[in-house]
Amino acid sequence: GVREADYQRKNLGESFGERSVENADAHFDAWKQGRTGFPYIDAAMRCLNQTGWINMRLRATLVSFATLNLWIPTTKVAEYLATEFLDYEPGIHHVIHQLIAGTTTFSGLMVYDPVKQGKDHDIGGCFIRKWVPELAGLSASDIHNLAETRRQTAQSRERFSYLMYPEAIVDHRQTAKRAKDRIRELRNNDQGRKGGSVEQEIGREEGSQPSLF
């Protein structure tokens, strides 16, 4: 197994290996800069980059989006956030990241829908407007609507020449499903070598979590 000293460099579930995906570098840069096209994600990252602190739910949402929707290696995500958090604690930080990303030996995933999280926890859009001023003109309902943010981007692009707010860089529902399928397959392959299946365990733990979709 992975020793405690290796948590920062390796997945706790060794069968997961290294993640690879098209546009990984571009997506990682967009995530770090708060330019993913998902207002709540981008507001959280910009806030963190400027202040060094966000609450635990926002942290989990950022990690879930990066490791599951963007499929960025968990250790890479954790390494970057370690440089941003003022309260970085290695013994907790890296293990929690892997629990969220599903790269531990425990079953279940912590999949946070980035749009639903915004609707639930920034109902009026005040947090988004503060940190993503490009969208300040949108109403409370429209600011969480990706179709409206796309329309705002298109209109602004016609009027101005400076850097506009980007469109969503991935389909968050499709990428979440793909991540679940990939991790389930990896876990079943690993469990198959040991004898047994984790399908029921994953389904049970996912079902016990609040609905995120």
Residue 12 placed within a domain: no
Let me know if residue 8 belongs to a domain: no
SS3 content of the chain, % helix, strand, coil (to 5): 60, 0, 40
More reliable by pLDDT, 205 or 10: 10
Examine residue 117 and state whether it is found in any structural domain, yes or no: yes
Q: How far apart (Å, rounded) are the C-alpha atoms in residues 59 and 86? A: 13
User: Mean pLDDT, the chain, as a whole number?
Assistant: 81
Q: Can you give the pLDDT at residue 131? A: 97
For residue 145 the two structure tokens come to 């609507």
Which pTM was predicted? 0.81
The answer as to whether 3 is a domain residue is: no
For the stretch 40-98, pLDDT in tens is 999 999 999 999 999 999 999 999 999 999 999 888 999 999 999 999 998 889 888 88
- pLDDT mean over 97-126: 88
5, part of any domain: no
Q: For residue 100, what are the contacts with CB-CB under 8 A and spacing of at least 6?
A: 60, 63, 64, 67, 110
* CATH value at residue 32: 1.10.579.10
In a domain, 182, yes or no: yes
Burial string for 74-85 (b: 16+ CB within 10 Å, else e) reads: bbebbeebeebe
Q: How far is CA 176 from the centre of its chain?
A: 10
Host domain of residue 86: 19-205
Bin 34: left if φ > 0, else alpha if -120 < ψ < 50, else beta: left
Is 11 among the domain residues?
Answer: no
Judged against a pLDDT cut of 80, whether residue 107 lies above it is answered with: no
Domains in the chain, number: 1
Q: What is the pLDDT of residues 145-161, one digit of tens each?
A: 999 998 877 776 666 54
Tens of pLDDT along 151-188?
877 776 666 545 688 999 999 999 999 999 988 887 77
**Percent of the chain at pLDDT exceeding 90:** 52
Residue 87 located in a structural domain: yes
